[in-house]
Amino acid sequence: MFFPVVLFVTLLLAACQNVPMTGRSQLQLISPGQEMAMGLSAFQDILKKEKLSSDVAANELVNRVGRRIASATGRTDFQWEFKVIENDKQINAFCLPGGKVAVYTGLLPVAKDEAGLAAVIGHEVAHAIARHGGERLSQQLLVTGATLAVAASTHDPKKRDLYTGLLGAGAAVGFLLPYSRLHESEADRMGLIYMAKAGYDPHAAVHLWHRMAEAGRGKPTPPEFLSTHPANAARIQQIERWIPEAMQYYQASNTK
C-alpha cells in the first residue's frame, strides 16, 4: 500500500501550480491547452443556444472595454472573443478558459458606463487567468475518479452542463455553481489590477457593487450575477482595501 500512496501524493504535488499575481498554490489536473479546448467547445455550445444581440452600440462597447482588459492581462496566447447575449433578465457575464467572454444585455444598465463594465469584465477575466475553472474541474475529477477524456467527450447533456458550469459559465447552462470566497477574492483583487492597467479608475468597482446590490433589493431572488458573486458589505470593504494597490497601476497607465 505504501508505494501507491507515495505515487498518489507525488502526482498531486506535481499537479500543483501557482496563480499569477497572488502566488497561491492550486490543484490542476488538466493542462492549460486542454482547459482552453474545453472552454472553446463550451462557448460554441452556449452561443448555439443563446440569442446574440444585434445592438451595434452594445457590441462596440463590450468589444472596446474587453479588448482593453485583454491587452492589460498580457495573455497573447488567449484567443479572445467578446459577445453580447440578448437577455435583459440576466444581470451577468462570464469568461471561459482561453478568453471567451460573454456579457448579457441585462448587465449593461447596471454596469452604467465603461468603467463599471471594465470592473465586471476584469473580474470575470481574472477567473480565467487564475484558472479557477480548471481548478474546480480538477477537484471534481479527483472526487469522482473520472478522467479528463471522459469529461471532455461525454454526450450526457447534464454532465456537459455541469462541466461547463465548473469552467465558469454556470448561469448560461442552468448550473449556478458559486465560486468559493477564495476564488472570488482572488478575482476581485486581480480584476482591479487589470482594469487599472487598462486605464479605468479602480474606484468604479466599488460603485458597481453598490449598484449590483441595489439591483437585487426587494426581489425574491437576486440577479444571477449576485447569486454566483455575493456582493456584501464585507466584500466591498475588502475591495476598498485593495484599491491603493490597484491605483499604482492606474497611475502608471496614465503616465505612458
Which tens digit of pLDDT belongs to each residue from 75-87? 999 999 999 999 9
What pLDDT does residue 11 have? 40
CA pair distance 55, 81, nearest whole angstrom:
17
Contact 21, 189 (CB under 8 A): yes
The pairing of beta strand 25-27 with beta strand 16-18: antiparallel
More confident residue, 98 or 133: 98
Number of H helices, E strands in the chain: 13, 5
Does residue 233 register a pLDDT over 90?
no
pLDDT in tens, 33-85: 999 998 999 899 999 999 999 999 999 999 999 999 999 999 999 999 999 99
What pLDDT does residue 3 have? 39
More confident residue, 233 or 37: 37
When pLDDT is cut at 50, 70 and 90, the band that residue 96 belongs to is: very high
pLDDT mean over 5-11:
38
> Can you give the length of the chain in residues?
256
Does residue 10 register a pLDDT over 50?
no
More confident residue, 159 or 27: 27
CA distances from 179 to 25, 117, 119, 183 (A): 17, 20, 17, 6
CA distances from 6 to 11, 17, 28, 105 (A): 9, 19, 18, 51
Does residue 105 register a pLDDT over 70?
yes
Does residue 171 register a pLDDT over 70?
no
What percentage of the chain exceeds 90 in pLDDT?
52
What pLDDT does residue 13 have? 41
What pLDDT does residue 93 have? 94
What pLDDT does residue 15 have? 60
More confident residue, 21 or 106: 106
Q: How many CA atoms lie within 13 A of 193 on its CB side?
A: 14
Q: Catalogue the active-site residues.
A: 124
